[in-house]
Structure 1
Amino acid sequence: MIYPAHLEAIASALAAIFTDGAYADREIARVLKADKRRGSKDRAFIAEQTYNVVRNYRLLRHLAGGGKPKKREDWWRLVGIQLLLEGESLPPWKEFAGLNEKEIQEKWTDAQTTRALRESIPDWLDKVGATQLGELWEPTLSALNEQAPVVLRANRLKATPQEVQKQLATDGIQTEVISDDALLVTERRNLFRTKAFSNGLFEVQDFSSQQAAPALEVEPGHTVIDACAGAGGKSLHLAALMENRGKILSLDIHGWKLKNLKERARRNGVSNLETREITSTKVIKRLAGRADRLLLDVPCSGLGVLRRNPDAKWKLSQDFIDRVVIEQADILSRYSKMVKPGGKMVYATCSILPQENDAQVDAFLASETGQSWTLEHKQTFLPEVDGYDGDGFFVSRLVNAG
């Protein structure tokens, strides 16, 4: 059942996202916390419909008449159109007056002939994707416009995937083991309130993201640097692969992210991890020749994770992509010097654009800094390929001959 309070919450979140530039995940979390009386179904409805409108924003505006939403009632109408497209019946509220299901369905059918409108994406971004991915762009874009699956990584310092699966089942959460460490959640619940989470038995991490740490081919006893660690999901994965032996140095320019990583490391039972904020170029220079392994999960456009962050397509610009490409090349050139002769480096992004992936690796290998390096492995993960149902991701491994 749809309640006015639900629509008020969704409209409030949408206004903040599109008018004030708020991030969708944070805004939805804020709205859900505002009223703790809501049950799990109410919370799920608000979150899902907010994301649905964000995901289909351009298309819904077109179906509503093309104007930019400004008032509370405008946001209600977009939600109403989304619900009609899902086959729901609308209550006879004044905010929905004039919404004709037949007319909306006819306009929706006409919109299917225009890819950027159908998939609800800016024209400039559609052109970038088509230019760089060719015939792969259309199925990739369609897949990226669907709801993201929830995938977990079992923390092998504490439990096997089968043990995690069994523990979660006691809380009514059903999962399917899909790889050595990954579990697909087949019934959505609040994972963060489970004993398994509080005891550090798993982390939420997409399947594609889980490919970065194993690609580095770490061994217990290695000195490993995760140089763009962020909140540290891959650092924690590396610690498990290293069996808590050796040393992991997690670096990032944001100290608050590293603080969160320390908390996650304690919950995960990780004891071989040290964090260090990158406060100047000296931090990198002092680590020259120190690493057996280096992970560079570099800043990127994030086009591979639009399913999780659909608001990103409305915040991105060509200028941002141009700037981040320059930053990626700079990180590759300077940070690679931290690797010992004979050591290895993984360059990874959560982008699907060759400009940020293959082209960056090729340019590095052709540069003066990259003369001692060779490419051992690379793979691009696209959501629509071979039934793969995860994020878009790129991972490559290079070895330093010294």
Structure 2
Amino acid sequence: MNHARRRVTLVAAAGAAALTVTSLILPAGADRARAGPTGPLPLPSLSLPGSPPPVKPPSITLPPVKPSSLKPPIVTRPSPTPTGSHGASRPSTPSTPDAPRSTAPGSPGGPTINQDAVATIIAADPGADLYPQPPVDAAVTPQARQVAALTDVQHRIQYLQNILARTRDDLARVQREPDPVLQLLTTLTAGGDPAGAPPIAVADTADLVDTPTGRAAALSAAITSGQAELARRQRDETTIRQEIDRRARAATLPAPASEATTRGGGRLGRPLAGRLTSRFGVRFDPYYHVWQLHPGVDLAAPAGTPIVAAMDGRVSRAGWYGGYGNYTCVDHGRAEGQRLSTCYGHQSRLLVSPGQRVRAGQVIGLVGSTGAATGPHLHFEVRLGGRPVNPLPWL
């Protein structure tokens, strides 16, 4: 028998399975700080007993780019023309014109990130926020720390989802490379008949490391590891959200200015009577086509539909805010020991100004499709200490 040549059958599969991946996914204690983006994720490394130094599998390596330093072209999506208030009289509040879009990218109120720049941003930091985020308060109470923990785990889920999407693309590309061992293993896995396959010479098991077969095994192992962590993080997120939602339903909200504005037994009022089209949580963003934390809910409504304040309060923000387009936030006092605010995105027109006091049910803007929107709707948020929580239990 010629020992220089070996016929590879299922032994090749065992040899490929013996490849070990140190890690594609960061350890649980290495969650990135939300103060800024992290660098690019290191690629998985391979190790075999007595083998040469590890060889990195192929992947597209992009130079680290901070979102704040990008200068993509400004997106100039036209704002829908308001179509009226559908039977309701227009408020007497002076109209606020659309905010200018000439602010530098990455700064508060800057323009919508160009879709062509998204791949570079997410390659540099899979957990990057493509939408600006308001400043947050210090988490000094148990309730605030719980909300902060929710935000952290949701960004970790976003990070993992984007990493897994990139790794699956890498695996699909490797599997298209011509490699007889990989083709044989694919045939065996698919239940084909390898009887007609010619013998394959393999000088050493380590030769598999820097081949399509080895890279496919490494990427497959990384996907399996990432999916396991993703499942754990999603369970954690469900547990934390359920507790926060339970507390929200029992929370005592700030007293309204007058009994005439109390609605729903002291709960927040609905900003409009639209159909729920997207829930709170991590989702595949329909505009940017990457995984992002959706920090609110979307309510479908025709362009020009009046948007009303969910509760009495003072306007803390009203203007253009990146992917949110025309965006208004109203502070309502404190609930659960934290600053309670509601925010309203993608408006076609703003009808209030910062510092202005508003009453529950007062029209504060009109539905639109400004910013990173695919059609007219209201993006509605509830924030505690500046951090987003699920709005539905508060309504």
After TM superposition, the score normalised by the length of structure 1 is 0.26
Higher share of residues assigned helix: 1
